[in-house]
């Protein structure tokens, strides 16, 4: 691989990183590059894998680009690849697997949005430089030609990488006009890589944020998900709000900036929500969790119901009664509109609705039955609820914070003890549906469900009982209800 000269040239370490990337690909890089060259075509490793190798990050995806059109790509790899798939062929991409490695090869292209269209129009290009200039950022517009291994950086991506700066290869207004989702990609890369946005990029993003309204909900959802799963999502959210993109992606968040939190007078609700997000991520790490989209969405959105429930009390106190209920409904509506999965929508909404439940715990006055209900209502979300509730404590009063932490330690200990004693997460009534019908002498119907729920309440209130005692309680209940 030739060494680049000049101020923006590769360092020895970066040169070695690219050599190492090609070595990891093994003979695939040379064999595939030679095939395309023999067929009269160019081939280059491009974008993410080159950027990540130069940054010393782990490389996950192998993306390549070529002047060969998709049908020609298929011809060139047909008798060489172990498997080929064409799911992205309409956008010029052919996927393949060789010796256990997956690659995607995309024809040089330029894509743009019609002002009224939600889908990009794709046309093929003829040169590597033309392909690189249409890419989102200069740090993603670097390539390594195959098979010779020549490093190509026509838009100073290496210099921008060293400066920790995001800049577009061409004019940022042209880039965002081609694909408005790049505005969200900019804030995501800032969060993911710790880069700053170039001033001209920030200005263009702010002026053109409204263009995000033509991007499909699914693409916005994917962009938000990647942002929230980045190492520093707070930075991305703040940038998204700062440039106005949040109004078109997650408008509930900028609305929080004007709301005062009655529990945290030193912060507005927006700042409080970002702090909760930070603290939830820290607790994730402490507890050994993988980055959790459901938890992070819940942390960010847990107080979105406050703007609609704000009320002024005598003495100037501001309250937000039932904001968790309103917030859960708003969360469900927003995440559904963004086409998140039903499970994600349900889980995030439930966490929002439950995030205040613990504050009734006080100094441990809850009975065991109340603790059982808390755990049972949380269900499979219990560990996430533990994290969210702890993260929601942002008070600067050390004594109050310590008291809350002790109280939550106590409830977690009690839940664990009860779970050991009676397998809390599997709590069921002491009689099943068939046994209820036999005891009461009834057929399947609504009465069986009512009886089942009554027995469940008994179980939660008093713990397990014998079938004989359960049957006796059931008969007594049935008599009182006209059975």
- What DSSP line would sit under 221-257, residue for residue? HHHHHHHHTSS-HHHHHHHHHHTTTHHHH-TTTGGGG
Asked if 220 and 275 sit in the same domain, the reply is: no
Q: Which distant-in-sequence residues (6+ apart) come within 8 Å of 375 by Cβ?
A: 382, 415, 418, 419, 424, 425
Asked if 42 and 150 sit in the same domain, the reply is: yes
Closest CA to 443 of 452, 453, 433, 455: 433
Sort strands 83-85 and 109-112 into parallel, antiparallel or unpaired: unpaired
Contact 48, 62 (CB under 8 A): no
Contact 146, 202 (CB under 8 A): no
Of 222, 249, 276, which closes a domain? 249
Of 135, 163, 191, which closes a domain? 163
The pLDDT value given to residue 99: 92
Q: CA-to-CA distance for 250 and 225, rounded, in angstroms? A: 12
CB-CB neighbours of 443 under 10 Å: 8
* Position 85 pLDDT exceeds 70: yes
Asked if 293 and 383 sit in the same domain, the reply is: yes
Question: Looking at residue 421, which CATH number applies to its domain?
Answer: 1.10.3210
* Position 351 pLDDT exceeds 90: yes
Strand partners, 124: 109
Contact 312, 404 (CB under 8 A): no
Asked if 224 and 236 sit in the same domain, the reply is: yes
pLDDT confidence tier of residue 422, bands split at 50, 70 and 90: low
The pLDDT value given to residue 426: 64
pLDDT confidence tier of residue 310, bands split at 50, 70 and 90: confident
Q: CA-to-CA distance for 229 and 239, rounded, in angstroms? A: 16
Asked if 340 and 369 sit in the same domain, the reply is: yes
| The token pair that represents 205 in the structure block | 């993003």
454 occurs within a structural domain: yes
* Position 483 pLDDT exceeds 80: no
Asked if 101 and 44 sit in the same domain, the reply is: yes
- For the chain, the average pLDDT equals 89
Q: Which of 5-9, 235-239, 385-389, 431-435 has the lowest mean pLDDT?
A: 5-9
Contact 330, 305 (CB under 8 A): yes
pLDDT confidence tier of residue 18, bands split at 50, 70 and 90: very high
| The token pair that represents 383 in the structure block | 């560990």
The pLDDT value given to residue 446: 86
The pLDDT value given to residue 51: 95
- The larger pLDDT score, comparing residue 36 to residue 112, is at 36
Q: Cis check for the bond before 59: say yes or no (omega within 30 of 0).
A: no
The pLDDT value given to residue 427: 72
302 occurs within a structural domain: yes
Closest CA to 125 of 68, 85, 44, 177: 68
pLDDT confidence tier of residue 6, bands split at 50, 70 and 90: very low
Question: Looking at residue 17, which CATH number applies to its domain?
Answer: 3.30.460.10
Sort strands 151-152 and 62-66 into parallel, antiparallel or unpaired: unpaired
Question: Looking at residue 231, which CATH number applies to its domain?
Answer: 1.10.110.30
315 occurs within a structural domain: yes
Q: CA-to-CA distance for 324 and 308, rounded, in angstroms? A: 11
Q: Which distant-in-sequence residues (6+ apart) come within 8 Å of 408 by Cβ?
A: 358, 361, 386, 389, 390
In percent, how much of the chain has pLDDT > 70? 92
4 occurs within a structural domain: no
The pLDDT value given to residue 312: 79
Asked if 421 and 433 sit in the same domain, the reply is: no
Asked if 371 and 392 sit in the same domain, the reply is: yes
1 occurs within a structural domain: no
Q: Which distant-in-sequence residues (6+ apart) come within 8 Å of 473 by Cβ?
A: 455, 458, 465
Map residue 80 onto helix, strand or coil. coil
Q: Cis check for the bond before 147: say yes or no (omega within 30 of 0).
A: yes
Looking from the CA of 459 toward its CB, the CA atoms found within 13 Å total 24
2 occurs within a structural domain: no
Q: CA-to-CA distance for 275 and 294, rounded, in angstroms? A: 17
In percent, how much of the chain has pLDDT > 90? 65
Across residues 7-33, what is the average pLDDT? 88
283 occurs within a structural domain: yes
Helix (H) or strand (E) holding 475: helix 467-480
Across residues 341-356, what is the average pLDDT? 97
Across residues 403-410, what is the average pLDDT? 87
* Position 327 pLDDT exceeds 50: yes
Q: Which pLDDT tens digit goes with each residue over 228-264?
A: 999 999 999 999 999 999 999 999 999 998 655 544 4
CB-CB neighbours of 462 under 10 Å: 12
The domain total for the chain is 4
- The larger pLDDT score, comparing residue 466 to residue 312, is at 466
Contact 145, 44 (CB under 8 A): yes
Q: Which pLDDT tens digit goes with each residue over 431-452?
A: 988 999 999 988 888 888 889 9
The pLDDT value given to residue 308: 87
0.85 exceeded by pTM: no
* Position 424 pLDDT exceeds 80: no
| The token pair that represents 63 in the structure block | 């993306």
Instruction: List the domain range (segments joined by +) for residue 38.
Output: 12-163
Q: Which pLDDT tens digit goes with each residue over 108-144?
A: 986 555 666 656 566 788 899 999 998 999 999 999 9
103 phi/psi in degrees, rounded to 5:
-135, 155
Asked if 236 and 351 sit in the same domain, the reply is: no
Asked if 347 and 409 sit in the same domain, the reply is: yes
Q: CA-to-CA distance for 351 and 390, rounded, in angstroms? A: 13
Q: Which of 8-12, 194-198, 409-413, 457-461 has the lowest mean pLDDT?
A: 8-12
Q: CA-to-CA distance for 440 and 448, rounded, in angstroms? A: 9
Asked if 463 and 411 sit in the same domain, the reply is: no
Asked if 419 and 291 sit in the same domain, the reply is: yes
455 occurs within a structural domain: yes
Q: Which distant-in-sequence residues (6+ apart) come within 8 Å of 479 by Cβ?
A: none
Of 425, 440, 465, which closes a domain? 425
The pLDDT value given to residue 259: 52
* Position 265 pLDDT exceeds 60: no
């Amino acid at each position: 691989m030739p060494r680049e000269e000049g101020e923006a040239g590769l360092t020895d370490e970066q040169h070695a990183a690219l050599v190492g990337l090609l070595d990891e690909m093994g003979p695939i890089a040379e064999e595939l590059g030679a095939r395309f060259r023999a067929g009269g075509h160019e081939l280059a490793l491009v974008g993410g894998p080159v950027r990540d190798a130069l940054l010393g990050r782990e490389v996950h995806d192998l993306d390549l680009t070529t002047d060969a059109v998709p049908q020609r790509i298929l011809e060139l790899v047909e008798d060489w690849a172990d498997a080929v798939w064409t799911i992205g062929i309409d956008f010029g991409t052919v996927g393949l697997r060789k010796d256990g490695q997956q690659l995607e090869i995309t024809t040089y292209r330029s894509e743009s949005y019609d002002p009224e269209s939600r889908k990009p129009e794709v046309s093929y290009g003829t040169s590597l430089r033309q392909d690189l200039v249409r890419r989102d950022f200069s740090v993603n517009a670097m390539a390594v030609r195959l098979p010779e291994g020549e490093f190509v950086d026509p838009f100073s991506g290496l210099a921008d990488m060293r400066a920790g700066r995001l800049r577009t290869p061409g004019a940022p207004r042209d880039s965002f006009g081609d694909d408005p989702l790049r505005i969200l990609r900019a804030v995501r890369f800032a969060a993911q890589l710790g880069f700053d946005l170039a001033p001209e990029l920030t200005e263009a993003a702010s002026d053109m944020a409204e263009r995000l309204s033509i991007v499909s909900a699914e693409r916005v959802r994917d962009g938000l998900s990647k942002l929230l799963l980045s190492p520093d999502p707070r930075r991305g959210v703040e940038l998204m709000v700062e440039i106005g993109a949040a109004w078109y992606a997650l408008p509930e968040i900028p609305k929080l900036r004007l709301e005062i939190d009655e529990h945290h007078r030193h912060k507005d609700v927006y700042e409080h929500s970002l702090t909760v997000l930070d603290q939830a991520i820290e607790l994730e790490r402490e507890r050994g969790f993988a980055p959790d989209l459901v938890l992070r969405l819940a942390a960010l959105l847990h107080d979105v119901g406050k703007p609609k429930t704000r009320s002024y009390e005598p003495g100037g106190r501001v309250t937000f009664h039932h904001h968790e209920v309103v917030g859960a409904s708003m969360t469900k509506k927003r995440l559904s509109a963004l086409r998140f999965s039903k499970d994600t929508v349900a889980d995030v909404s439930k966490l929002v609705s439950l995030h205040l439940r613990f504050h009734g715990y006080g100094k441990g006055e809850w009975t065991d039955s109340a603790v059982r209900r808390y755990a049972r209502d949380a269900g499979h979300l219990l560990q996430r609820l533990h994290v969210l509730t702890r993260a929601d404590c942002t008070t600067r009063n050390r004594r109050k914070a310590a008291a809350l932490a002790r109280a939550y330690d106590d409830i977690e200990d009690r839940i664990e003890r009860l779970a050991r004693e009676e397998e809390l997460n599997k709590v069921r009534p002491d009689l099943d549906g068939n046994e209820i019908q036999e005891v009461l002498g009834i057929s399947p119907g609504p009465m069986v469900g009512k009886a089942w729920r009554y027995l469940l309440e008994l179980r939660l209130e008093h713990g397990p009982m014998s079938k004989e005692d359960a049957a006796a309680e059931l008969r007594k209940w049935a008599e009182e209800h006209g059975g």
